[in-house]
Structure 1
């Protein structure tokens, strides 16, 4: 038993048909439009089962379930487009100022008893100088490689 039933109005159905016939949208948007048209349980709609839609549109059943749910809960436009991320994937460890300080530190004289700076020494020094709260030596290496 399906939890989210798609019932399109005549205007929504026509908008989806126009979108598909134009073919000027992203592949994801067109696939979601096809899913909604095939899942339409309104009067005159095909109301295909999810496994048949998955085979026809070449997506997973889970994708169809998510599109159905988004259509019922948030509407047509939300079902057609990709969800926006709530937050950025990751925060940068070193911004421009911190990178400049790292480069200046790497170009300076190494600590007493050392011939050269190591990545670990640079990372520890950045934390000691309170430039960053914590940082890995791999991040230091990547930043220096990018700057070089």
Structure 2
């Protein structure tokens, strides 16, 4: 792992005021208050910063938390709001198996004639037929129902 250059946390007076307000007033998530306290403790604009171990013991956090907050402050370019707030997730953890093409094929199947011996499609019957089609991923009947509901397709 390449060595990373330590960048000191330097806050403006307005940033300090915001962080003090976050840590002392209102109802906020504990993680936000914790990160705001870490930034205040790491601020070099008010004087010499205590060693990381002292800050960790005083705030009740780990040294890794202090390192990650300082790193995020540097990555965001000194944006206090982005540093103490939650990061937005880029993608869902598991990509959806229902793409536009799968959705179109599913709707076409639901709008077609039901198999011989059936008067209409049911969600479970669609589930069985989707499993038989090779190029559509296996979908649960509840997933099929959500797709059809989203597109206002009613099984009659």
- TM-score range for the pair, normalised by the shorter chain length: 0.5 to 0.7
Which residue number in structure 2 is paired with residue 54 of structure 1? 56
Which residue number in structure 1 is paired with residue 27 of structure 2? 24
1:106 Cα offset (Å): 5.1
What TM-score, normalized to structure 1?
Answer: 0.64
What TM-score, normalized to structure 2?
Answer: 0.61
Which residue number in structure 1 is paired with residue 125 of structure 2? 104
What secondary structure does 1:18 align onto?
helix
More helix as a share of residues: 1
> Aligned in 2, Cα 1:30/1:46: closer, same or farther, shift over 3 Å?
farther
What secondary structure does 1:92 align onto?
coil
> Aligned in 2, Cα 1:57/1:65: closer, same or farther, shift over 3 Å?
same
Matched, 1:82 2:86: yes
What runs of 5+ residues in structure 1 fail to find an aligned partner?
A: 109-121
Moved over 3 A (4+): 94-98, 105-108, 143-147
Provide the rounded CA distance (Å) in 2 between the counterparts of 1:5 and 1:77.
Answer: 18
Q: Is the 8 A contact 2:126 2:141 kept in 1?
A: no
Q: Which moved more, 1:30-39 or 1:85-94?
A: 85-94
Residues matched between the structures, number: 122
1:46 Cα offset (Å): 5.4
Structural mapping, 1:91-130, within 5 Å: 91-94=95-98, 103-105=124-126, 123=131, 125-126=132-133, 128=134, 130=135
